Amino acid sequence: MMISARAYGDNGKMKEYHYTGPVEHKFSPYAFNGGTVLAVAGEDFALVASDTRLSEGYSIHSRDSPKCYKLTDTTVIGCSGFHGDCLTLTKIIEARLKMYKHSNNKSMTSGAIAAMLSTILYGKRFFPYYVYNIIGGLDEEGRGAVYSFDPVGSYQRDTYKAGGSASAMLQPLLDNQIGFKNMENVEQLPLTLEKAVQLVKDVFISAAERDVYTGDALKICIITKEGIREEIVPLRKD
């Protein structure tokens, strides 16, 4: 246990030992379980990728806990942060999807799910779900859509977004390779599905090198009009 600076007086000499009073240990209702999610929208496809490591502190709880959850045939949500809240939130979203289907006789569209999630999250504005959400899917016209959220429900539609523990490492690379930011004299080709998948794999390999909470395996959900296809790629396990 480290001696705090309170033990030292103004002249730099250590104070005589005295009891500093009862110390309050706060109970925190949240825990950080790590994990990174990423979503990319293309012309006629969307990708949602996440690593599969579940950790707490310096330990690993599970090497096979993916963070992408399939909501409908055209929408996948990626949730990272506090795993307890991720599980509860996805249960609530799935229940609401069923309710919508029964009363409106159709599945919810990606945009509608995003709007609904925003109100669900803001409903707990004063005891938030500690979850970073990213929704990836196809909109009504069949084009790729990505919606990124903060823990209390602020959201916007993006072309690509990274969230979770290694998001600060992934986002700049995506800005450069997909958004062509900070570059000139470069041919700005539209993003194909193969290039997007290869970019996502490379970007997660780099994230696993430098972020301790990211690793074990990468699960990519590829959403096209044919349906949802999954690919699993191994990552560093150490």
Provide the binding-site residues for another protein, judged by CB under 8 A. Answer: 2-3, 5-6, 8, 10, 12, 55, 58-60, 165, 177, 182-186, 198-199, 201-202, 205-206, 208-213, 234-238
**Whole-number minimum distance, CB 3 to another protein, in Å?**
7
**Whole-number minimum distance, CB 235 to another protein, in Å?**
7
**Whole-number minimum distance, CB 200 to another protein, in Å?**
10
H-helix or E-strand spanning residue 51: strand 46-51
78 versus 215: smaller Cβ distance to another protein: 215
**Alpha-carbon gap, residue 54 to 149, rounded angstroms:** 21
**Alpha-carbon gap, residue 11 to 5, rounded angstroms:** 12
187 versus 226: smaller Cβ distance to another protein: 187
**Whole-number minimum distance, CB 184 to another protein, in Å?**
5
- Give the pairing type, strands 46-51 and 59-62: unpaired
H-helix or E-strand spanning residue 169: helix 167-177
CA distances from 173 to 38, 66, 207 (A): 12, 23, 11
129 versus 213: smaller Cβ distance to another protein: 213
Question: Tokens 């209390």 sit at which residue?
Answer: 152
**Whole-number minimum distance, CB 51 to another protein, in Å?**
13
Residue type, 193: L
**Whole-number minimum distance, CB 125 to another protein, in Å?**
20
9 versus 142: smaller Cβ distance to another protein: 9
**Alpha-carbon gap, residue 31 to 177, rounded angstroms:** 33
6 versus 102: smaller Cβ distance to another protein: 6
Under 8 Å between Cβ of 88 and 79 = no
**Tokens at residue 99, please?**
């309710």
* Phi, psi angle pair for 178, to nearest 5°: -100, -40
* Residue 36, SS3 per DSSP: strand
36 versus 148: smaller Cβ distance to another protein: 36
